[in-house]
Amino acid sequence: VEGAASSGQRWIGMSVPYAESDDLHISDPRVQERVDRLFAACEKNLKGFDRPLVEKAFRLARWAHRNHKRASGEPYIVHPLDVATILVEEIPLDSTSVAAALLHDVVEDTEVDLDVIRSEFGPTMRSLVDGLTKISGVFESRSIGNAENVRKLVLSMASDVRVILVKFADRLHNMRTLEALREGKQQKIARETLDLYAPLAHRFGLFRVKNELEDLSLRALEPDAYYDIVNELKATRDERERLVASFIEPFKERLREAGIQFEIYGRPKHIYSIWGKMQRQSKTLDEIYDLLAIRVVIDTEQGEDERRACWSVYSIVTDLYTPNTSRIHDYVTRPKSNGYQSLHTTVFGPSGRPFEVQIRTRRMHEIAERGVAAHWRYKENVEDDGADPDLDSALSWVRDLLEAPQADQPQGFVDDLRLNLYDNEIHTFTPLGHLITLPLHATPVDFAFQVHTEVGFHCIGAKVNGKMVPLSATLQSGDQVEIITSKKQTPNPDWMKFVVTHKAQSRVRAWTNEKRRKAMELGKEIWDKRAKKAGLSTVEGDVRGYSVTLKFGSAQDMYYEIGTGHHDVDALIRTLKGEQKVDGEKGASELERAFQAFVSPGKRNEGPSIVLDGEDGYNLATEYASCCTPIPGDKIFGFTSRNGVVKIHRASCRNAPNLYVSEPDRIVELSWSREKDAIYSVGLRVMGEDRQGLLNDLTDIISKTFKMGIRSVAVDSEEGFFEGLITLNVSDLEQLKSVMRRLNRVAGVSGVYRLEV
């Protein structure tokens, strides 16, 4: 066996002779001490401890790592032993998870493979070790390769949460022994721990693990600040202990008189939390007054009495000491999204110093300290199919992440995971009083998507506490939010500028990408038909060359511009074939020439409609630019021609950048007047699948439904594809948008776009 291993042979699909004896006597005292501690912790903390399973896993791990050493010079086996011990002491689950912790590195670092794990321990252990192997180094960078590993991590979480819990224990041991590494490596590991492992531990409710990961990261990243706080806390410890004791003694007496079974103790703030508050508030440690914290853990039966018990203790402490009524957080009635429950209040103690008091039951305390791990332990006692609604709720965000539309895009998946690790939460309510938990800075659109994806897709407005607010408004805890929806509404890409939840961002991004994909497909279809007719290639490589010549970023960008009607394919083909425009019309397509024939008069009534910003502007000589045909509601600017006439352009006009750069002194800032009943000519390009009666359907909607005048219609139909240009009279942008939305719903129509020439 020793010879085979040293020659690099792997043990595949067969038993491995790794046990030299049946006892656990180890000659190395460093290893023996850890073995004794692990098995003592297992006996104490695990229900139904399967000793033979854990012993067997230890023997295989010891044999597989027999030739390995850690950076500290210790035998490598001390690392899996310590990881397993951390798991049992900090996140106690079951014997299988302890065995997996012992074996978590064997497949990646030794000649033992997954087939050996399966043959020796069964499929469940193989799955756990496989998950731990796949996510090794998962957060080392944001490259696509490692991003795919992030997705594997979340998949593992969804299938068996023990994978990530073992990984937390692994990372915690690495952080405890970080000083054995060179400084640069320490900083890198500490940074990724602070960026992702600690927030992820928080998301799973593992507060003890999260706090220690943060403290150890701070020690590596800001050692001077870390040790300054540590030394100051040591220097003031006696004073703090005296203050805590003077607070607790009369409180204890009152609790005993009330017949409450409890445990009470001072709860020290962890160092990273203190450092963060000093940074945010620009204060010294002496100026941080909430370092004094008390926790009361009540022994009571699980159920409705838990809430009553917490409020009974609250009543006692606020009777005894003066409460700060602005500092109360009821996480008992409204638990955090990771399952955390506790009642927090601040009172002024006998010395006048503020004390933060946390009140919770024993069950709440277990979940508060160990989060999803506590749910897992409770799950062992659930009857029937073993389903645990609390565990399901705690993992719902994982499933939601996997169901996001871009879940198969690795880098977007990493970004969504980071977004999901929010720390601060707000509690909002539906009109019926249902609780919706959201991250800080969430908006009504985030709320809508949290209620249901369809509500998010169709939201057009929101009422907060009975008053209309913008969709970009920031919600506060306690807000009651009513979402107003319309079947006509679709997601607005601009929502991406203010939504903060991963669900809202992923759904809006997916909808936008799908809309772009359809436009590109349509554009490619138009190109292929017109290009073949003109004798141009439709081969991908050739089209890529055409797009470069036409100054598009890529062939896909060109297809998109054609599909959305922003570029006329015939004009692009003429440019590629070297045909030069002779005058304003000869270079245009038939559809564009039809439009230009009618649009030149611009506004169809007499009287001023444009004003200079800050002036009346009634004496302005103006013309409407036919390239972009502005109408009221459009953002506009003026360009002064050589003869003094101001040409009015839309701010989004494709000629605007060139005009602003080449002759900025001729730009005039303009706005619309409040004039009513003016009529403007606008061209719409309508594309889609040709069918009988399509043109009639379109014109009926314009003339009969909206009672608007149609100035011209030009149609081009070829091989089942329809393209039409309709010039119509409108009064403003809102009316135009209403028409476009309605035309878009006509059967066979794939796109309706405002024409620019």
* Closest by Cα among 555, 551, 527 to 541: 555
Spatial separation of the C-alpha atoms in residues 622 and 163, rounded to whole Å: 70
Alpha helices in 67-222 (DSSP H): 78-90, 95-103, 106-109, 114-121, 123-134, 144-159, 162-176, 183-192, 198-203, 207-221
Give the rounded distance of the alpha carbon of 54 from its chain centre.
38
DSSP 704: I
Taking CA atoms, 301 is separated from 255, 309, 343, in Å, by 17, 10, 17
Residue found under tokens 């990530």: 164
CA dist., res. 654 & res. 658, Å (int): 8
Select which of 33, 43, 108, 408 is catalytic. 108
DSSP state of 197: I
Q: 579: which DSSP letter?
A: P
Among 50, 55, 74, 109, the one annotated catalytic: 109
Helices (H) and strands (E) in the chain, counts: 31, 19
Name the pairing type of β-strands 680-689 and 354-361.
Answer: unpaired
Q: Is 109 among the residues known to form the active site?
A: yes
Is residue 431 within 8 Å of residue 482, measured between CB atoms?
yes
Tell me the one-letter amino acid at 690: D
Give Cβ neighbours of residue 426 (< 8 Å, ≥ 6 apart): 437, 438, 439, 440, 442, 475, 476, 477, 479
CA atoms of 92 and 191, how far apart (whole Å) = 27
> Can you tell me the distance from the alpha carbon of 10 to that of 630, in angstroms, rounded to the nearest whole number?
74
Is residue 90 flagged as an active site residue? no
According to the 3-state scheme, what is the secondary structure of 266-281?
Answer: ECCCCHHHHHHHHHHH
DSSP H or E segment with residue 358? strand 354-361
Q: How many CA atoms lie within 13 A of 707 on its CB side?
A: 0
| HSE-CB of 226 using CA atoms within 13 angstroms | 12
Question: Catalytic residue numbers?
Answer: 108-109
